[in-house]
Amino acid sequence: MKKRRWNSQKKLEIVMVGLSKTLSISDLCAHYAISQSQYYKWREQLLSRGNRVFDAEPDKRTQQLENKVKELTGLVGQLTVELKKTEDELAWLES
């Protein structure tokens, strides 16, 4: 078989046709020129990772928290620089 790259949308489409049972798996694989083992691999990937579709909100919250961490890390850096300058100025005044 000629090696091809399938995009995720096409893989999903092929697996969904297989799951709908409108075609036998052998006919489906022949139509798309893929091996049955490839179909079953894609199906297993979909079934094992499909629950992530419903985890959209935690991902959004995670992104918000990561952005806040970046913001606060930048602020800590700025304050550290200002503190160092202030300490240097005080040391210069005391000498």
**How does pLDDT run across 54-92, given as a tens digit for each residue?**
766 667 788 889 999 999 999 999 999 999 999 999 988
Q: How far apart are CA 49 and CA 45, in angstroms?
A: 6
Q: How far apart are CA 86 and CA 2, in angstroms?
A: 68
Residue 56: what pLDDT? 61
Q: How far apart are CA 17 and CA 46, in angstroms?
A: 13
Residue 4: what pLDDT? 84
Question: Taking the model in full, what pTM does it have?
Answer: 0.56
**How does pLDDT run across 8-53, given as a tens digit for each residue?**
999 999 999 999 999 999 999 999 999 999 999 999 999 998 887 7
**Domain-by-domain residue ranges, the chain?**
8-94
Q: Up-side HSE of residue 64: CA atoms within 13 Å toward CB? A: 6
